[in-house]
DNA sequence: CGGAATGTAAAACGATCGTTTTACATTTTC
DNA sequence: GAAAATGTAAAACGATCGTTTTACATTCCG
């Protein structure tokens, strides 16, 4: 059984991701969620709050998917994500871009995710280096993950494979 | 002197970039361009066409800015772009994401830019390697440029600096 | 059994969307 | 100097936006 709010968020995430946040109207959401607008509003507190909720759920799913212990495994997980979820760019940066940061609830959800994302990559890099942190390398790996996500929109999975190989080179160079 | 269409495109690019394409209404555009909606429509053929025109002009400016002959110079130029133009992510991918690829004129402008962008990076990498092309390295540099553009939204210019250092490592490794 | 509670379907809200039109003023051109 | 062109200001277009309300059906619970 799926709670009403979960059904809304699942449908909204798919529509926001496929058609954009602003281009997706509430009527389309109610149709996809299979409920009246009255019920939808009883569970969501408006579109801006729903956008933030979608991003929160996306953060949970994405971070769980990237629960790995090596940089190489990170890019393997990312390639799997891109192949199964499709490559339409980072949903958080897209939300931020569509709203110009003018919706506080959205801006905060994006900031929270990106902070957690940076921290996660730092943990992975540190673990991969045997517990020895390297902020510069963390930044480079983060750039590669963002770049693979963005570039795979038009270059396909090969962008993730290229990022994986580049990261392996950078790691090997750091180790030696 | 600035032609009416140039004034429209300049104003539209700034507003689209700052607030998003869909969130920017035509009334805001007419106010920013300093003309009536009647005149604006006489010069533009509607919002979708204007979006495509903005992307076309953006492509000209961006590609001219990235007219360099080495990978290191590429990232120097990108850092300069981010510092002077601001970091709000790739406007082309944002346009594509906001419209879901459903506006043919926009989708085509994005595809044309990304094709030219990939070609340009390939030329730079090839020149940097002394005329010896390396598709895999081209893909890695492209991912680094996209990643620096995306990550600098929340990491700032340090993302571009990290990408620059990573690219230098990859180039050096290829050369040896 | 009876009344909250919760749902749906659908109309309606005012606001805003992209776009066109009306009415009028100004500039350019032959 | 009259006509054609081009501009502005502003109203109006139908459509759609996010949101609320009305009217009614169903289910849950004591």
Q: What are the pLDDT digits (tens) for A157-175?
A: 999 999 999 999 999 999 9
Half-sphere exposure of B110 (CA within 13 A, CB side): 24
Rg of chain B, C-alpha, whole Å = 18
- Name the token pair of B62: 């961006």
Best B21, B143, B160, B175 member to test A by mutation, with max A CBs in 10 Å, is: B143
Query: What would the mean pLDDT of B24-28 be, rounded to a whole number?
Result: 96
Q: Which protein residues have a C-beta closer than 7 A to any atom of strand C?
A: A 4, 34-39, 42; B 22, 24-28, 36-38, 41, 46-48
Distance in angstroms between the alpha carbons of the first and the last residue of chain B: 53
d(CA A21, CA A94): 9
State the Cα–Cα distance between residues A173 and A168, nearest whole angstrom: 9
Q: Which nucleotide is nearest to A35 (CA to C1')?
A: C8
Residue showing tokens 């230098």: B168
Domain boundaries, chain B: 47-175
Confidence class for position A4, pLDDT limits 50, 70, 90: confident
Q: Which residues of B touch A22 (CB under 8 A)?
A: 20, 22-23, 98
Nucleotides in chain D near protein beta carbons (<7 Å): 6-11, 16-23
pLDDT of the residue at A173: 95
Q: Which of residues 5-44 of A touch strand D (CB under 7 A)?
A: 22, 24-28, 36-38, 41
In Å, what is the separation between the CA of B101 and the C1' of D20? 33
Chain A residue nearest residue B111, CA to CA: A154
* Tokens 């946040």 belong to residue: A21
**Closest nucleotide to the alpha carbon of A48, via C1':** D18
Question: What is the rounded distance in angstroms from the CA atom of residue B82 to the CA atom of residue B62?
Answer: 11
Backbone CA torsion sign across B64, B67, B71, B73: negative
pLDDT of residue A92: 98
Which residue, among B142, B130, B139, has the nearest Cα to B175 in the 3D structure?
A: B130
Mean pLDDT, rounded, of chain A: 97
CA angle A112, A116, A118 (to 5 degrees): 120
Percent of chain B with pLDDT over 90: 96
Question: What digits encode the pLDDT tens for the residues A148-159?
Answer: 999 999 999 999
The fraction of chain B above a pLDDT of 70, given in percent, is 99
User: Does residue B25 carry a pLDDT above 60?
Assistant: yes
Q: How much is the pLDDT for B82?
A: 98
Question: Is residue B107 within 8 Å of B55, Cβ to Cβ?
Answer: no
Q: Which CATH number fits domain B47-175: 3.40.50.2300, 1.10.357.10, 1.20.1630.10, 1.20.1260.60?
A: 1.10.357.10
pLDDT, position B17 = 98
Q: B24, B47, B113, B166: best mutation site toward chain A, by most A Cβ within 10 Å?
A: B166
How many Cβ pairs closer than 8 A exist between chain A and B?
Answer: 148
Residue A1 confidence (pLDDT): 57
State CA A79 to chain mean position distance.
13
| Per-residue model confidence (pLDDT) at position B19 | 98
Task: Please name the nucleotide lying closest to B49, CA to C1'.
Answer: C18
Q: CA–C1' distance B43–D5 (Å)? A: 15
Cβ <8 Å between B23 and A100 = yes
Give the residue-averaged pLDDT of B121-136: 97
| Segment (H or E) for B17 | helix B4-19
Q: What are the C-alpha distances in Å from B2 to residues B15, B51, B53?
A: 18, 19, 16
| A3, A53, A62, B53 from B6: Cα distances, Å | 52, 40, 42, 10
Structure tokens at A37: 């607008």
What average pLDDT score do residues B116-143 get? 98
pLDDT of residue A46: 94
Closest CA to B143 of A86, A151, A78, A155: A151
Q: Which nucleotide is nearest to B30 (CA to C1')?
A: D8
- Which residues of chain B between 21 and 40 are close to nucleic strand D, CB under 7 A? 34-39
> Contacts of residue B148 in chain A, CB cutoff 8 Å?
143, 147
pLDDT at A3 over 90: no
A2 — pLDDT class (breaks 50, 70, 90): confident
Instruction: Determine the Cα–Cα distance for residues A134 and A131; give it in Å rounded to an integer.
Output: 9
The nearest alpha carbon in chain B to A87 belongs to B97
**Lookup: tokens for A88:** 């339409």
Distance CA A54, CA A103 (A): 14
| Tokens representing residue A46 in the block | 């408006």
Supply angle C-alpha B170, B173, B175, rounded to 5: 110
Q: What is the mean pLDDT of residues B147-163?
A: 98
- Reply yes or no on whether the pLDDT at B60 is more than 60: yes
* Residue B73 neighbours by CB distance under 10 Å: 15
Q: What is the pLDDT of residues A48-91, one digit of tens each?
A: 999 999 999 999 999 999 999 999 999 999 999 999 999 999 99
Higher pLDDT, B105 or B2: B105
Instruction: Name the more confident of B56 and A4.
Output: B56
Band (pLDDT 50/70/90 cuts) for residue B1 is: low
Instruction: Please state the rounded mean pLDDT for residues A108-124.
Output: 98
């Amino acid at each position: 059984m799926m709670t009403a709010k979960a059904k809304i968020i699942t449908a909204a995430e798919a529509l926001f991701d496929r058609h954009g946040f602003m281009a997706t109207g509430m009527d389309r959401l109610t149709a996809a969620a299979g409920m009246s607008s009255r019920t939808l509003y009883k569970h969501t507190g408006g579109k801006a709050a729903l956008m933030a909720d979608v991003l929160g759920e996306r953060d949970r799913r994405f971070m769980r998917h990237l629960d790995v212990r090596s940089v190489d495994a990170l890019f393997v997980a990312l390639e799997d994500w891109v192949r199964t979820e499709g490559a339409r760019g980072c949903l958080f940066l897209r939300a931020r871009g569509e709203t110009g940061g003018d919706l506080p609830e959205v801006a905060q959800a994006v900031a929270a995710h990106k902070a957690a994302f940076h921290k996660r990559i730092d943990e992975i890099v540190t673990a991969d280096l045997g517990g020895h942190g390297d902020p510069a390398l963390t930044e480079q790996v983060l750039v590669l993950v963002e770049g693979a996500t963005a570039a795979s929109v038009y270059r396909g999975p090969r962008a993730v494979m290229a990022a994986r190989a580049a990261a392996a080179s950078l790691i090997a160079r750091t180790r030696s």
